[in-house]
């Protein structure tokens, strides 16, 4: 079941201690059945309503639609089996953009996606490749401009930019990208080795997805190779 929303802005991991049940007064109203709890962020300055999918699809119209679907349950099960077999031949990646180029990172490697703050905190004597750090729910997160890491020209900050957080050798690191576009399943048959232009490039961008029908070329990054071992040691010193 899919739902249409205005925008997806970020993916967050939040502590259970920051999540409260919906106030009883609001819960009694009846028209907020989908919202079951409230998440407090930024010391309570930002509140996020948490929707329970089970309640979201509890309306009578939705139930009627699901009932109609259940009438062909056996056929759906057969199709599902075929779909599962086909999904085994897919890779799920998060698509992001740098300039006009599309890149993909394995979805399992992406810890979080957060907004870029108005100003990064500069740390004295931090490694030169670190743009700054941010406070991500009580932990220090070093932030790197992925444009510079890949040899692209640095640009001014925009509202569309995001920080993609990866865990690299147990060091959580954020990388600024121009835009996070979508989560995409790519058939393994469409993935081929990328041209080897240099040793560093062949490690970081060793594969490319050629989506002929969509007329798209997606360069697939290998996050563990985003940082060298000596850089990870320097990052660990910054985060303490």
What are the DSSP calls for the chain, one per residue?
A: -----S----B----GGGEEEPPHHHHTTSTTTTEEEEEEETTTTEEEEEE-HHHHT-SHHHHHHHHHHHTTHHHHHHHHHHHHHHHTTEEEEEEEEETTEEEEEEGGGEEEEEEPPSSPBP-TT--TT--EEEEETTEEEEEEEHHHHTTPPP----TT-EEEEEEETTEEEEEEESEEEEEEEEEGGGEEEPP--SHHHHHHS-EEEEETTTTEEEEEP-GGGGS-HHHHHHHHHHH-
| % residues pLDDT > 90 (the chain) | 28
Confidence label for 161 from pLDDT (cuts 50, 70 and 90): very high
Q: Residue 185: pLDDT above 60?
A: yes
More confident residue, 112 or 127: 112
What's the chain's average pLDDT?
82
| The pTM of the whole model exceeds 0.75 | no
Region 47-76: mean pLDDT is 70
Which segment, 1-15, 54-68, 95-109, is predicted with the most confidence on average?
A: 95-109
Q: Residue 27: pLDDT above 90?
A: no
**pLDDT value at position 61?**
61
């Amino acid at each position: 079941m899919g739902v249409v929303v205005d925008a997806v802005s970020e993916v967050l991991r939040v502590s259970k201690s920051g999540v409260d049940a919906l106030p009883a007064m609001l819960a009694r109203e009846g028209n907020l059945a989908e919202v079951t709890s409230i998440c407090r962020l930024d010391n309570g300055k930002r509140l996020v309503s948490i929707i329970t999918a089970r309640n979201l699809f509890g309306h009578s119209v939705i139930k009627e639609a699901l009932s109609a679907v259940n009438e062909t349950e056996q056929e759906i099960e057969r199709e599902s089996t075929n779909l599962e077999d086909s999904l085994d031949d897919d890779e799920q990646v998060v698509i992001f953009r740098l300039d006009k180029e599309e890149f993909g990172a394995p979805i399992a490697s992406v810890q979080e996606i957060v907004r870029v703050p108005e100003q990064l905190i500069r740390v004295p004597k931090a490694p030169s490749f670190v743009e700054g750090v941010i406070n991500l729910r009580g932990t220090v997160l070093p932030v790197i401009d992925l444009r510079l890491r890949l040899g692209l020209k640095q640009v001014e900050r925009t509202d569309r930019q995001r920080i993609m957080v990866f865990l690299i050798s147990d060091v959580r690191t954020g990388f600024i990208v121009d835009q996070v576009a979508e989560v995409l399943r790519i058939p393994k048959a469409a993935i081929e080795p990328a041209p080897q232009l240099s040793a560093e490039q062949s490690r970081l961008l060793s594969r490319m997805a050629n989506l002929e029908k969509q007329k798209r070329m997606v360069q697939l990054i290998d996050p563990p190779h985003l940082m060298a071992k000596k850089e990870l040691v320097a990052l660990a010193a910054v985060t303490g």
